[in-house]
Chain A
Amino acid sequence: MMLNLSGRKTLQIQTPEGVVFNLTVAGLFTRFLAWTVDGAAVMAASSFITICTAFMAIISPDFANALSIILYAVISVGYGIYTEWKWRGQSWGKRLLRLRVIDASGLKLQLSQIIIRNLLRPVDLLPACYLLGGSFAFWNRRGQRLGDLAANTVVVAIPVAFTINTQSIKEAKYNSFRDYPHLESRLRQRVKPVEAALALDAILRRDEISPEARVELFKDIANYFRDLVPFEEKVDDMITDEQFVRNVVASIYRQNSARQPKSSGLELNVPTV
């Protein structure tokens, strides 16, 4: 099972050009919430139909009843198919929760795939409340329910558009690591994006942590980075674990101010470290 560092399943696709990209598979709870939203949308549409057909009943109650039954069935079955086709793999619920149905090979989603994944839903619902489909999705490495498996589709989470404030990436104090550019370079090579983000997060939230826990936390993080890139003892011994982590983060995020454009129009919410 492929998991990313936050413990979520990922779908890895390799293009013929050799580019590999990972898409985060949507969590079961998020999917359940999206399904609830969609259920509410179907209910709302059905209520609207009931009101409309009630007026028709003045002319022909029998015809109004038949229309109501047929339209309800069409909406409850067709809602998912129509919205996912119209909005490229998204229903209202999925839009709201930033999810999207995609082809498991990364190719364009076909109408037949959408039809199959939606029409096989009854078997996923068995015996009640998505127990079969949910259990299958839980164990499946791509988080697929049975309908997804038959349609070769995967529900992925859409990343939030990034914002970067490059103006604020500065070092508050002198960073002793700057005297060792080759080690800084190695840090940038070896530290994974998520690890750097976690270290930054720890620094930003330091005041929320009790002093004892903070010491332990920064010790662990610093030791992790020390294992990745061993610094010379004289540099290492002179600073605390927390300062070590701050220096690491500053080295990774540091920008060359001389090459910084005046207005990039981009924002990254990273304060000074």
Chain B
Amino acid sequence: MILDLQQFIATERPRWDELESLLAKIEEDPDLRLTLDQTRRFHYLYDRAASDLLRISTFASSPEILRYLEALVARAYGEIHETRDARRRFLFWHWFSQQLPQTFRRHLMAFWCSLALTILGATFGAGMLYLNPDAKETLLPFSHLQVKPSERVAREEQDEGERLNGKKARFAGFLMTHNIRVSLFTLALGMTYGVGTVVVLFYNGVILGAVSFDYIQDGQARFLVGWLLPHGSIEIPSVMIAGQAGLVLASALIGSRKRMTLLDRLAAVRDDLVTLIGGFSLLLVWAGLVEAFFSQYHEPVLPYGVKIGFGLLELVLLCGFLGFGGRKARPGGASS
């Protein structure tokens, strides 16, 4: 097609400018609602720019205009053809009470896998320590876990929670951010077809199993449960939810839904992943607070019964929330 470039630009440029300014307005304010006339005008300008792009794409001397029009049409195309609902307002309570537990249950199988891997790791860690007590140094590379459990318990009980005086908020901040980072990493490793996620979950289980075995063998089971349960009842499931999200991602990559393309599979789980991320992050904030301000107090300051009771209560509430939250009641009394 032959056209007079200069004439063409002179005629069309005002419309491109109008489309650009309309696009800038829409992009600036996502809640902007165009009137019917504005929408018609917007569509007309888009059609015109798209048609100009078609005409100019055959004209040899206009690479700059071509690129400009391509970018302009691309922006308008995104606005006009988008069918996903972006204007839905985010309501925290609805998200937390409905969406989060529903999403969790939608991918329940991935959570069971995550739990199974943790249990497998824990069994392996405990078994290794049982078979070879010298492996403690390798299995538990943390200085506070290297000492004999009974010695640590005696020291902690004597300390009466004074050790962290003036440092508790900092400790809580560290725990929250560190645990969230580790959980996000566990999720991100889903992109390695889940191999990385499986390794992290298993390793987490190994540490948990080895510590538990070490304390139980030394007769400190009560301390262990009292120490771990208040924060662990939330923290450990949170890491497993992160693993669940990682496995969901891996399953989308591997292609458990064969009829869909890779991009469609990833798109199908994207919102669910964001919900799970929000969920475990929130739970880990709570776990960090409990660990810093509650878990560090032992008998005689805080009876173990109270701590264990508190931890069990949290666990029951969490299970109830994830298992039954967001279920809609049916007329017959049953819930879906």
Residues of A within 8 A of B (CB): 13, 15-17, 19-24, 60-63, 65-70, 72-73, 77, 88, 102-104, 106-113, 115-116, 119-123, 146-147, 149-152, 158-164, 166, 169, 185, 187-197, 252-253, 255-256, 259-261, 264-266, 268
Q: What separation, in Å, do the CA atoms of A70 and B277 have in the docked complex?
A: 17
Smallest distance from the beta carbon of B284 to chain A beta carbons, Å? 11
Instruction: Name B79's closest neighbour in chain A (CB-CB).
Output: A108
Smallest distance from the beta carbon of B53 to chain A beta carbons, Å? 6
Partner of A185, one of B2, B67, B68: B2
Q: Are B177 and A69 in contact (CB under 8 A)?
A: yes
Smallest distance from the beta carbon of A156 to chain B beta carbons, Å? 8
**Hey, which chain A residues are within 8 Å of B189, CB to CB?**
123
Partner of B273, one of A69, A77, A116, A264: A116
Q: Are A108 and B184 in contact (CB under 8 A)?
A: no
Q: What separation, in Å, do the CA atoms of A60 and B170 have in the docked complex?
A: 11
The 8 closest A-B pairs by CB, nearest first: A162-B64, A66-B173, A66-B169, A159-B67, A193-B63, A73-B177, A69-B173, A65-B170
Q: Are B86 and A119 in contact (CB under 8 A)?
A: no
Residue B144, interface by CB 8 Å: no
Q: Are B13 and A266 in contact (CB under 8 A)?
A: yes
Partner of B64, one of A60, A72, A164, A253: A164
Q: Are A252 and B60 in contact (CB under 8 A)?
A: yes
Residue B7, interface by CB 8 Å: yes
Knowing that A88-B27, A116-B273 are A-B contacts, what are 8 other residue pairs whose CB atoms are under 8 Å apart, sorted by A's residue number? Answer: A23-B70, A65-B167, A70-B177, A102-B74, A122-B181, A123-B189, A162-B65, A193-B66
**Hey, which chain A residues are within 8 Å of B188, CB to CB?**
119-123, 147
Q: Are A261 and B6 in contact (CB under 8 A)?
A: yes
Residue B82, interface by CB 8 Å: yes
Q: Are A150 and B266 in contact (CB under 8 A)?
A: yes
Q: Are A159 and B70 in contact (CB under 8 A)?
A: yes
Q: Are A261 and B10 in contact (CB under 8 A)?
A: yes
**Hey, which chain A residues are within 8 Å of B150, CB to CB?**
none
Residues of B within 8 A of A (CB): 1-2, 4-7, 9-10, 13, 27, 47, 50-51, 53-54, 57-71, 73-74, 77-79, 81-82, 84, 86, 166-170, 172-174, 176-177, 180-181, 184-185, 187-189, 191-192, 196, 249, 263, 266-267, 270-271, 273-274, 277
Instruction: Name A256's closest neighbour in chain B (CB-CB).
Output: B4
**Hey, which chain A residues are within 8 Å of B277, CB to CB?**
115, 119
Q: What separation, in Å, do the CA atoms of A161 and B13 have in the docked complex?
A: 12
Q: Are B185 and A122 in contact (CB under 8 A)?
A: yes
Q: List 20 A-B contacts (CB under 8 A).
A: A21-B77, A23-B74, A66-B169, A102-B74, A102-B78, A109-B78, A110-B86, A111-B274, A112-B270, A112-B274, A115-B274, A115-B277, A116-B270, A116-B273, A158-B71, A166-B6, A188-B60, A193-B60, A252-B61, A255-B5
- Pick from B68, B69, B170, B192 the residue with the most CB of A within 10 Å: B170
Smallest distance from the beta carbon of A66 to chain B beta carbons, Å? 4
**Hey, which chain B residues are within 8 Å of A61, CB to CB?**
166
Q: Are A159 and B274 in contact (CB under 8 A)?
A: no
Smallest distance from the beta carbon of B174 to chain A beta carbons, Å? 6
Partner of B59, one of A108, A120, A193: A193
Q: What separation, in Å, do the CA atoms of A151 and B270 have in the docked complex?
A: 7
Q: Are B63 and A19 in contact (CB under 8 A)?
A: no
**Hey, which chain B residues are within 8 Å of A63, CB to CB?**
169
Q: What separation, in Å, do the CA atoms of A154 and B47 have in the docked complex?
A: 25
**Hey, which chain A residues are within 8 Å of B1, CB to CB?**
189
Known: A67-B173, A146-B191, A252-B61. A162 touches B68 (CB 8 A): yes
**Hey, which chain A residues are within 8 Å of B177, CB to CB?**
69-70, 72-73
Q: Are B192 and A13 in contact (CB under 8 A)?
A: no
Q: What separation, in Å, do the CA atoms of A39 and B274 have in the docked complex?
A: 24
**Hey, which chain A residues are within 8 Å of B59, CB to CB?**
188, 193
Q: Are B61 and A193 in contact (CB under 8 A)?
A: yes
Q: What separation, in Å, do the CA atoms of A116 and B187 have in the docked complex?
A: 10
Q: Are B86 and A108 in contact (CB under 8 A)?
A: yes
Instruction: Name A121's closest neighbour in chain B (CB-CB).
Output: B188
**Hey, which chain A residues are within 8 Å of B9, CB to CB?**
164, 166, 264, 266
Q: What separation, in Å, do the CA atoms of A124 and B188 have in the docked complex?
A: 9
Q: Are B65 and A62 in contact (CB under 8 A)?
A: no
Known: A166-B6, A191-B60. A123 touches B173 (CB 8 A): no
Smallest distance from the beta carbon of A31 to chain B beta carbons, Å? 18
**Hey, which chain A residues are within 8 Å of B66, CB to CB?**
193
Known: A102-B74, A112-B271, A266-B10. A162 touches B58 (CB 8 A): no
Q: What separation, in Å, do the CA atoms of A22 and B63 have in the docked complex?
A: 12
Smallest distance from the beta carbon of B268 to chain A beta carbons, Å? 11
**Hey, which chain B residues are within 8 Å of A120, CB to CB?**
187-188, 191
